[in-house]
Structure 1
Amino acid sequence: MNFLASPHLHITTWVIAIILFLVALAITNPKVVHMILRLFYILIIITGIALFMKGMDYGQGMLYGLKFLAGILVIGMMEMSLVKKKKGKPFTTFVVLFFVFFFITLFLGFKLPMGINFLA
């Protein structure tokens, strides 16, 4: 479980997922990229749960819970954007919400004790 609770593994998975998301938005037929991205959603959630459980040791369960919820919303907005694009419907709102939730998640991740202390 220590390997899964590594912040580096979690950061690596979401960085790759964001790159895949941007690639999927840019290309015309993102079917394969979208399936690979769904695999990374699962990896992000698994490593996020492991970090969440490790984060309970710091006594800031509510903030870690809010970060977990914001992370799930980021994944949801990524998926909704790609599904709307695939159906040919407007998806700009979901992309904007993706960036809003992404920056909220980043802020909480850097603010919490297991994160890199950029904001101190």
Structure 2
Amino acid sequence: MTHMHITSWALGLILFLVALALYKKNSNKPATIVHMILRLVYLFIIVTGGLLTWDYIQGYGMPLLAEAIVKALAGLWIVVVMEGILVSTKKGKAVTGKWIQFFIALIIVIVLGFFRLPMGFYF
């Protein structure tokens, strides 16, 4: 399940960057298509992340419960902010605050997912 989650995140980030570039070039129809595909990938990200969180709860119990929940919430935060960045870019609104939120949440997710929780690099 971990590999599917990481693969869906990688695909999601690639599609996010492609949609963002297309919106900035005012190619709205192709950008909308990529954006809709990205929304489907969001579902894979959320489902696989939920299953991983459930695995943490079932397999590791209380010592890692708080960290797993914080990682899950930060992951959802990233999905929401990615959507907000794309919609704001499409409408021509400012996105500086959303980018700051994106990078803060991304750092939280990477540190917890790869370096603190057991299914990461160091465990």
What is the aligned partner in structure 1 of residue 88 from structure 2? Answer: 84
Question: Which has the higher Rg, Structure 1 or Structure 2?
Answer: 2
| CA distance in 2: counterparts of 1:53 and 1:94, whole angstroms | 29
Q: Deviations over 1:45-76 (max 9, x none)?
A: 00011101101111211110000000000001
Structure 1 residue 99: deviation in Å? Answer: 1.7
Residue 71 in 1 paired to residue 75 in 2? yes
| CA distance in 2: counterparts of 1:92 and 1:39, whole angstroms | 25
Percentage identity across aligned positions?
A: 46
Runs (4+) of structure 1 exceeding 3 A deviation are none
TM-align CA RMSD:
1.2
State TM-score, norm by structure 2: 0.87
Q: Structure 2 unaligned segments of length 5 or more: list them.
A: none
Structure that is richer in helix per residue: 2
| CA distance in 1: counterparts of 2:13 and 2:107, whole angstroms | 13
What is the aligned partner in structure 2 of residue 3 from structure 1? Answer: none
Residue 106 in 1 paired to residue 101 in 2? no
Q: Structure 1 unaligned segments of length 5 or more: list them.
A: 1-5
| CA distance in 2: counterparts of 1:75 and 1:24, whole angstroms | 14
